[in-house]
């Protein structure tokens, strides 16, 4: 039979537990207030720190994107000027093809412009009014902008980037990021050009702001509801304190057992959540207002974790977009990430890994080559054999990937898989030379999936192998380069999904 806290108090009054019960009620109210203050403080701290860290990561990715776009456009301009060495500056200014290369979008609302070095005079700009104007035009209104441009020009066009504030027509002040890169090739009349790429640093923060606003509303609503419950308890308890005078020890102990224990249990569980235990479940068996409060806290925890998962998906989406951008620059590896992810997930499922472990491998496979963003395109796209120095640089991409992803704490479970997916079963791989079970199972699965797709795909330095030859390579390297159990799993999957049959081997 469910009894409310008010009903319990009536029973206690009738059973002589008057004053002590009122005192216990007061203690319970104090404990509830402690729960409320502790949880409010920690929830707001978690929400704010998560939002600030998310904002910092998004801003860093925006800066990297601006730099990459600027360097990419400069490479296109160098190629064009090299192929049209007879064109002078005046001819280039009216050349639609060169203008298309020089003036490209950056992010959602940013763009590129081209100026002359060392004068800084703008020669190509989407705003016709700014063509043939110099930095002095903006000196008074935007001193930070002018300082960056002058520093770039004084250093003979050295690459430089930085922030400056920009005032919108409606008076709103926003922060922009600008990156300046010199063009190596000169025009036929000896003019050296430079490229400026800029965009608003907060243009990718809209989703984070929306999540932050929604989380704040949830916290405010929960705090308001909790405050109302506490206020009701305070009033009731003070009335009881004024009219109750006698206590029976047995009834008092019983009341402590039924009322204080669930409250302290709730405090412990809330403190555990505030300290980072995401698996905590608020499990208070009381069926009165305390039980309702526990359910309210439990619901809020689920909401916060749900919003955290959404934020995590935003991180993965942003970084996966960068991985897609890396693939899009190289026709030979287009689709590589999707295929490797598909193979890795199927292997994990076949080997009986849990849903959580399979999802971790799925995310690691999606981001396993993110470190190649930090490697020069001339090495990634090279059609000839790589030099030993270039091979050493290529081998740094797992560590570069870890450096990119490590600031995102909630992606920590995928980092070992990415770091060690080029280790070999016999201990001759990189970056640390791990062997057998020293290599995480996820990394061993990813190694087989990655190698199989590489063997069956055209690359700049080799043509794809036939399915039979690729299978033969897997079998020949089973136990040396690859985990034999993982190889067996992939062979079963290929036989099931692609009707693969082992080719006949010649004896002798």
Average pLDDT of the segment spanning 265-270: 64
Tell whether 133 and 223 lie within a shared domain.
no
Q: Give the CA radius of gyration of the chain.
A: 32
Tell whether 233 and 372 lie within a shared domain.
no
Lowest pLDDT segment from 294-303, 386-395, 432-441: 294-303
pLDDT of the residue at 504: 45
**Residue at 175 is within a domain:** yes
Tell whether 122 and 230 lie within a shared domain.
no
Tell whether 251 and 334 lie within a shared domain.
no
CB 471 within 8 A of CB 500: yes
**Residue at 65 is within a domain:** no
The highest-confidence range among 18-27, 102-111, 328-337, 431-440, by mean pLDDT, is: 431-440
Tell whether 343 and 235 lie within a shared domain.
no
**Residue at 147 is within a domain:** yes
Is the per-residue pLDDT at 462 higher than 80? Answer: no
pLDDT of the residue at 376: 85
Query: What residues are paired with 106 via a beta bridge?
Result: 110
Tell whether 367 and 296 lie within a shared domain.
no
Tell whether 341 and 390 lie within a shared domain.
yes
Tell whether 181 and 267 lie within a shared domain.
no
Kindly report whether the global pTM for this prediction surpasses the value 0.85: no
CB 382 within 8 A of CB 395: no
**Residue at 320 is within a domain:** no
**Residue at 308 is within a domain:** no
pLDDT of the residue at 263: 66
Q: Is 500 left (phi over 0), alpha (psi -120 to 50) or beta?
A: beta
Q: Is 36 left (phi over 0), alpha (psi -120 to 50) or beta?
A: alpha
User: Residue 421 gets which letter from DSSP?
Assistant: T
pLDDT of the residue at 505: 43
For residue 242, report the phi and psi dihedrals to the nearest 5 degrees: -75, -20
Give the residue numbers spanning the domain of 288: 5-54+207-300
**Residue at 191 is within a domain:** yes
Structural domain count of the chain: 3
**Residue at 266 is within a domain:** yes
Q: CA-to-CA distance for 203 and 185, rounded, in angstroms?
A: 33
**Angle made by CA atoms 380, 382, 383, in degrees to the nearest 5:** 135
**Residue at 104 is within a domain:** yes
Q: What is the CATH number of the domain that holds 142?
A: 3.30.450.20
Tell whether 38 and 103 lie within a shared domain.
no
pLDDT of the residue at 89: 93
């Amino acid at each position: 039979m469910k009894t409310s806290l008010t009903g319990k108090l009536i029973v206690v009054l009738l059973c002589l537990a008057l004053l002590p019960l009122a005192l216990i009620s007061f203690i319970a109210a104090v404990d509830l207030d402690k729960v409320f203050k502790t949880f409010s403080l920690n929830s707001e701290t978690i929400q704010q720190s998560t939002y600030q860290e998310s904002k910092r990561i998004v801003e860093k990715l925006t800066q990297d994107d601006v730099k990459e776009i600027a360097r990419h456009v400069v490479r296109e301009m160098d190629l064009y000027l090299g192929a049209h060495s007879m064109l002078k500056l005046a001819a280039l200014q009216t050349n639609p093809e060169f203008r298309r290369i020089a003036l490209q979008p950056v992010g959602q609302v940013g763009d590129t412009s081209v100026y002359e070095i060392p004068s800084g005079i703008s020669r190509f700009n989407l705003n016709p009014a700014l063509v043939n104007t110099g930095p002095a035009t903006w000196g008074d209104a935007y001193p930070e902008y002018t300082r960056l441009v002058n520093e770039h020009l004084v250093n003979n066009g050295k690459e430089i980037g930085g922030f400056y504030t920009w005032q919108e027509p409606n008076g709103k002040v926003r922060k922009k990021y600008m990156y300046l890169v010199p063009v190596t090739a000169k025009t036929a009349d000896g003019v050296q050009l430079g490229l400026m790429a800029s965009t608003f640093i907060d243009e990718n923060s809209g989703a984070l702001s929306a999540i932050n606003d929604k989380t704040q509303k949830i916290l405010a609503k929960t705090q308001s509801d909790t405050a109302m419950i506490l206020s009701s308890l305070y009033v009731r308890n003070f009335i009881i304190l004024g009219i109750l005078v006698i206590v029976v020890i047995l009834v008092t102990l019983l009341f402590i057992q039924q009322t204080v224990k669930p409250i302290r249990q709730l405090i412990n569980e809330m403190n555990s959540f505030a300290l980072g235990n995401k698996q905590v479940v608020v499990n208070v068996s009381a069926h009165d207002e305390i039980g309702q409060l526990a359910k309210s806290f439990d619901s809020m925890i689920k909401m916060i974790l749900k919003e955290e998962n959404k934020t995590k998906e935003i991180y993965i989406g942003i970084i996966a977009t960068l991985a897609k951008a890396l693939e899009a620059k190289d026709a030979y590896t287009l689709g590589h990430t999707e295929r490797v992810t598909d193979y890795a997930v199927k292997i994990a499922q076949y080997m009986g890994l849990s849903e959580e472990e399979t999802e971790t491998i799925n995310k690691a496979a999606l981001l396993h080559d993110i470190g190649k963003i930090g490697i020069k395109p001339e090495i990634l796209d090279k059609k000839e054999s790589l030099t030993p120095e270039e091979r050493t640089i290529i081998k740094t991409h797992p560590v570069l990937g870890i450096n990119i992803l490590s600031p995102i704490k909630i992606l920590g479970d995928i980092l070992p898989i990415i770091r060690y997916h080029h280790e070999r079963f016999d201990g001759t791989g990189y970056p640390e030379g791990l062997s057998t079970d020293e290599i995480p199972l996820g990394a061993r699965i990813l190694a087989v999936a990655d190698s199989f797709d590489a063997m069956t795909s055209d690359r700049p330095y080799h043509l794809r192998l036939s399915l039979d030859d690729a299978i033969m390579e897997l079998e020949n390297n089973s136990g040396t380069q690859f985990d034999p159990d993982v190889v067996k799993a992939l062979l079963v999957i290929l036989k099931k999904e692609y009707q693969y049959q082992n080719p006949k081997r010649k004896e002798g």
